[in-house]
Amino acid sequence: VTLHLNPISSVHIHQKPLVFLLNSPLPLVWKLKTERLAPGIRRVFFVSLGSVVRFEKGNFSLSAETEEKRFPEKNEHLLQWAQKEYGAVTSFTELKISRNIYIKVGE
């Protein structure tokens, strides 16, 4: 699955830390494609067990962290866990089948 990350239109270059929970019932290879995300900013990708994140060539991978995690099984429990762990969830998306996911990051 390719995860496309771009800032919202009102933000020229996104310069804030991000945390992603990438959960799947089956192990996946998450391919990251990014545009206009500032290098050197902490970005964390938690993936379900057996999954990996592959970064495009460039500096983005130097400041990104990837960690395998056992997530709660049901989406409601995952959302509650994320809210408890991080205090807020700004976006939650559930897809049954997808090869590309487009996410706008920003304020």
pLDDT at 48: 96
Q: pLDDT tens, 47-103?
A: 999 999 998 876 677 788 999 999 998 999 999 999 998 888 988 889 989 999 999
Q: Say whether 16 sits in a helix, a strand or coil.
A: coil
Report how many domains make up the chain: 1
Neighbouring residues of 57: CB distance < 8 A, sequence distance ≥ 6: none
The pLDDT, as a whole number, for residue 59 is: 64
Residue-number span of the structural domain to which 60 is assigned: 2-105
Which one has a higher pLDDT value, 60 or 13? 13
CA distance 16 to 43: 8
CB atoms within 10 A of CB 53: 20
Global pTM reads 0.90
Do 46 and 86 touch, CB atoms closer than 8 A?
no
